[in-house]
Amino acid sequence: MPRSPLDPAVAARLRRNPDGLVPAVAQQYDTGEVLMLGWMDDEALHRTLTTGRCTYWSRSRGEYWVKGDTSGHVQHVKSVSLDCDGDTVLVRVDQVGAACHTGDRTCFDAGELPLRGPVDRGREQDREQESRPV
């Protein structure tokens, strides 16, 4: 593996997949809304940390892309964190416009999947409790 452009202390904490990538979750910094999931290698993370704009690695195109360069829907970086295992990056951003390539605000608005079994019963109980007068 070539020398990482990251600070050695940061690079040592990252646990990359076999392709040298980590998932990067983009979250609206002030509301907590989850916007999208992208992929970063060391160079993309370095660019994100040093430019203040999210840079991702496109697995399908095999190239870097800066969110908003084409669409104008920029992600201004507010903070970057690693999870406890070092295998996922959380990027808190101020999203300008849509985060999703479909034009939607978030990539996670395609509808909830139906829950079945004990999980579904627990949700029903939660709804019942929420609807009871206090």
Residue 111 pLDDT:
86
Q: What is the mean pLDDT of residues 113-122?
A: 76
Per the annotation, where are the binding residues for Mg(2+)?
83, 85, 87
Output the pTM of the full model: 0.82
Per the annotation, where are the binding residues for Zn(2+)?
84, 100, 107
* Tens digit of each residue's pLDDT (9 = 90 or more) over 18-31: 999 999 999 999 99
* Tens digit of each residue's pLDDT (9 = 90 or more) over 29-54: 999 999 999 999 999 999 999 999 99
Provide CB contacts within 8 A for 75, sequence distance 6+: 26, 35, 53, 54, 67, 68, 91, 93, 94, 95, 96, 99
Check pLDDT > 60 for residue 1.
no
Per the annotation, where are the binding residues?
83-85, 87, 100, 107
Structural domains in the chain, CATH included, are 8-131 (3.10.20.810)
What percent of the chain has a predicted confidence (pLDDT) above 90? 73
Answer yes or no: are the C-beta atoms of 35 and 28 closer than 8 Å.
yes
